[in-house]
Amino acid sequence: MTISHLLTHPCKNMEASLVREVLHYSQQPDILSLAGGLPDERFMPAYPDLNALVDSRQYGASEGENSLRDHVVSIVAGRGLTTAADNVLITNGSQQGLDIVSRLILDSDSTILTEQPTYLAACQVFKLQGAKVQDVVSDAQGMSLEALREAIDLYNPKAVYLIPNFQNPAGHCYSIQRRKEIAALLDEKNVLLIEDDPYRELCYEEVDLTPISSLVKTAPWLYMGSFSKVLWPGLRTGYVVSCAVFTSYLIKVKQASDLHTNRLGQAMISHFLSSGAYPAHVAKLQEAYRQKRDAMMAALNTHLGDLVEFTVPSGGMFFWVKLPSGLSSKLILEEALKEKVLVLPGIPFFPCKSPLEDSFLRLSFARVSPDDINKAVAVLAKVIKRLIV
- One-letter amino acid of 380: L
The bridge status of strand 318-322 relative to strand 192-196 is unpaired
Spatial separation of the C-alpha atoms in residues 106 and 112, rounded to whole Å: 8
Q: What are 221's strand-pairing partners?
A: 193
> Which distant-in-sequence residues (6+ apart) come within 8 Å of 76 by Cβ?
83, 211, 223, 225, 241
The bridge status of strand 142-143 relative to strand 132-139 is antiparallel
Phi and psi at residue 172, in whole multiples of 5°? -75, 160
pLDDT in tens, the chain (389 residues): 888 777 777 887 767 666 666 666 666 778 899 998 899 999 999 999 999 999 999 999 999 999 999 999 999 999 999 999 999 999 999 999 999 999 999 999 999 999 999 999 999 999 999 999 999 999 888 899 999 999 999 999 999 999 999 999 999 999 999 999 999 999 999 999 999 999 999 999 999 999 999 999 999 999 999 999 999 999 999 999 999 999 999 999 999 999 999 999 999 999 999 999 999 999 999 999 999 999 999 999 999 988 999 999 999 999 999 999 999 999 999 999 999 999 999 999 999 988 888 999 999 999 999 999 999 999 999 999 999 86
Show the DSSP H helices in 228-359 as ranges: 247-258, 263-274, 278-304, 329-338
- Which H/E stretch holds residue 124? helix 120-128
Domains of the chain by start residue, with CATH: 4-44+279-388 (3.90.1150.10), 55-274 (3.40.640.10)
Nearest to 105 by CA among 123, 81, 129: 129
pTM check: above 0.85: yes
- b (16+ CB within 10 A) / e for 291-330: ebbebbbebbeebbeeebebeebbbbbbbbbbbeeebebe
- Which H/E stretch holds residue 221? strand 221-226
Spatial separation of the C-alpha atoms in residues 276 and 235, rounded to whole Å: 20
8 A C-beta contact, residue 220 and residue 246 = yes
Spatial separation of the C-alpha atoms in residues 386 and 320, rounded to whole Å: 21
Nearest to 34 by CA among 351, 389, 332, 355: 332
